[in-house]
């Protein structure tokens, strides 16, 4: 099978995945960690949402930077025998990480279940109890979802990107590179509530309370949930909008969980991460233009970090280190380089100047688009994308 990127949803989704490119994606991140200082971290960790973006980078850093064994939860869809599906990038990322972890004498155990379900929590509890590896020293929550089924009521909640007022902003079609205007009408009260249910801290709290009650957390277990604050020019979404409401709920949940764990030496904290190209963030109005400008500016100033470099710095120097950057809300702030005044002043000045004609000159859109393609295993050097790929053979089916 020759695999090419197939775009859908107006150029914001790639429905195919290239297995060899996904393998390369994982290998590149592992090589980056192996070239950075290691750290004394957890020996056994659970990563909720471990198949891409910050979750995948977290699992890689923990395994290859701290020597941890990691359990990862992700709905990673593999290829099906007799069908032409390539399987998801999540599946191939996790498959490669399992292989590379085993080569290092470590384990990455993928549990492909719905992270929001009570059955998922029980499955992890049973897994930890039955394994000789001991209790969990860390639980990392890295979930970005558009829907959640409430395990108590069975109701399905859907998140929204809407704000409290009408939002109109530029975006970029990833398939053809065309600037477009994206409009979001104001969120309703019901939409705000639903977004908090999906993207807030309720599920994180259910996980920590269940694991703690079952006795599978070590006394000094640390847990963090990833969040994003964003610059002033995106506050209509990340501060004032539905996502902002959800993020504040998540951050308050960190305080609740810290009260639960801190008495015996544990910790719960939220971590505000930098802007990256992910399958979720690409849908946010203004974000593709902002990210394209931001990457150019941060490269010029020498402060740009890849996803794995940023994640490894958070884990090694802040969550499990002593060089912490903490704000008054007790959030870890590895995003301080993105939010630095010198960076944001330049980005704010450049954003209004971007047009279709100067997009590639004023921004680093080509790099942004390359990062987007690489989330599905495309646009990596050293891979012949015209070569036939034995998908069933690589999947072992």
pLDDT digits (tens, 9 = 90+) for 52-94: 999 999 999 999 999 999 999 998 999 988 788 899 999 999 9
Predicted confidence (pLDDT) at residue 148 exceeds the cutoff of 90: yes
* pLDDT score recorded for residue 112: 95
Higher pLDDT, 327 or 80: 327
pLDDT of residue 5: 96
Q: Kindly indicate the confidence band of residue 10, based on its pLDDT and cuts at 50, 70 and 90.
A: confident
Confidence label for 137 from pLDDT (cuts 50, 70 and 90): very high
Phi-psi bin for 75: left (phi > 0), alpha (psi -120 to 50), beta?
beta
Question: What pLDDT shows up at residue 283?
Answer: 87
Does residue 160 carry a pLDDT above 80? yes
CA of residue 348 relative to chain centroid, distance: 25
Question: 201-212, pLDDT tens digit by residue?
Answer: 999 999 999 999
CB distance 229 to 200 below 8 Å: no
% of the chain beyond a pLDDT of 90: 91
Residue of higher predicted confidence among 189 and 81: 189
Q: What is the mean pLDDT of residues 93-112?
A: 97
pLDDT-wise least confident of 1-10, 73-82, 219-228, 370-379? 73-82
**Beta strand segments in the chain, E:** 7-8, 13-14, 44-48, 69-73, 108-111, 136-141, 147-149, 156-158, 167-172, 179-184, 217-227, 267-272
Those residues whose C-beta lies under 8 Å from the C-beta of residue 137, and which sit 6 or more positions away, are 41, 42, 43, 44, 45, 68, 218, 220, 221, 222
- The predicted model scores a pTM of 0.97
Considering the chain, what percentage of its residues have pLDDT values greater than 70?
100
What value does the mean pLDDT take over residues 212-219?
97
CB 376 within 8 A of CB 5: yes
Q: Round the average pLDDT of the chain to a whole number and report it.
A: 96
Whether 238 is catalytic: yes
DSSP per-residue letters across 39-79: ----SEEEEES-SSHHHHHHHHHHHHHH--EEEEE---PPP
Q: What is the mean pLDDT of residues 19-39?
A: 98
Q: How far apart are CA 176 and CA 62, in angstroms?
A: 37
pLDDT for res 147? 96
Domains and CATH numbers, the chain: 17-168+188-283+309-339 (3.40.50.720)
- Contact yes or no for 311/57 (Cβ under 8 A): yes
**In angstroms, rounded to a whole number, what is the distance separating the alpha carbons of residues 125 and 204?**
15
Pairing of strands 156-158, 13-14: unpaired
pLDDT level of residue 363 (50, 70, 90 thresholds): very high
Which of these is catalytic: 54, 91, 238, 287?
A: 238
194 pLDDT more than 90: yes
pLDDT-based confidence at residue 260 (cuts at 50, 70, 90): very high
Q: What is the pLDDT of residue 15?
A: 94
């Amino acid at each position: 099978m020759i695999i090419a990127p197939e775009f859908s949803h107006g150029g914001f989704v790639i429905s195919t995945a290239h297995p060899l490119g996904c393998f390369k994606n994982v290998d590149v991140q592992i090589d980056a960690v192996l070239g950075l200082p290691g750290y004394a971290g957890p020996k056994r960790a659970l990563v909720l949402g471990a198949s891409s973006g910050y979750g995948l980078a977290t699992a890689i850093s923990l395994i290859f930077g701290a020597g941890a064994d990691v359990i990862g939860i992700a709905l990673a869809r593999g290829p099906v025998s007799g069908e032409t599906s390539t399987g998801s990038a999540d599946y191939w990322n996790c498959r490669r990480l399992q292989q590379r972890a085993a080569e290092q004498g470590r384990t990455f155990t993928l549990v492909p279940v719905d992270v929001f379900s009570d059955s998922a929590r029980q499955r992890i509890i049973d897994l930890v109890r039955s394994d000789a590896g001991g209790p969990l020293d860390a639980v990392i929550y890295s979930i970005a979802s558009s829907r959640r089924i409430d395990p108590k009521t069975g109701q399905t909640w859907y998140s929204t990107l809407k704000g409290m007022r009408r939002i109109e902003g530029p975006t970029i079609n990833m398939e053809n590179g065309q600037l477009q205007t994206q409009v979001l009408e104001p969120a309703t009260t019901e939409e705000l509530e639903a977004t908090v249910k999906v993207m807030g801290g309720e599920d994180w709290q259910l996980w920590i309370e269940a694991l703690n009650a079952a006795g599978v957390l070590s006394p000094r277990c640390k847990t963090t949930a990833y969040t994003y604050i964003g610059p002033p020019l995106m506050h209509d979404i990340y501060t004032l909008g539905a996502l902002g409401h959800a993020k504040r709920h998540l951050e308050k949940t960190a305080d609740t969980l810290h009260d639960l764990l801190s008495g015996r030496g544990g910790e719960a904290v939220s971590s505000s991460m930098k802007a990256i190209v992910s399958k979720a963030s690409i849908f946010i109005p203004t974000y593709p233009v902002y990210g394209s400008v931001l990457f150019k500016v941060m490269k010029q100033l020498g402060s740009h970090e890849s996803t794995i470099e940023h994640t490894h710095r958070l884990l090694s120097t802040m969550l499990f280190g002593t060089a912490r950057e903490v704000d008054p809300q007790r959030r870890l702030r590895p995003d301080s380089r993105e939010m630095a005044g010198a960076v944001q002043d330049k980005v704010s000045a450049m954003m209004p100047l971007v047009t279709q004609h100067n997009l590639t000159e004023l921004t680093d859109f080509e790099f942004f688009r390359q990062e987007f393609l690489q989330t599905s295993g495309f646009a990596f050097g050293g891979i012949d994308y015209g070569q036939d790929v034995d998908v069933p053979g690589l999947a072992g089916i």
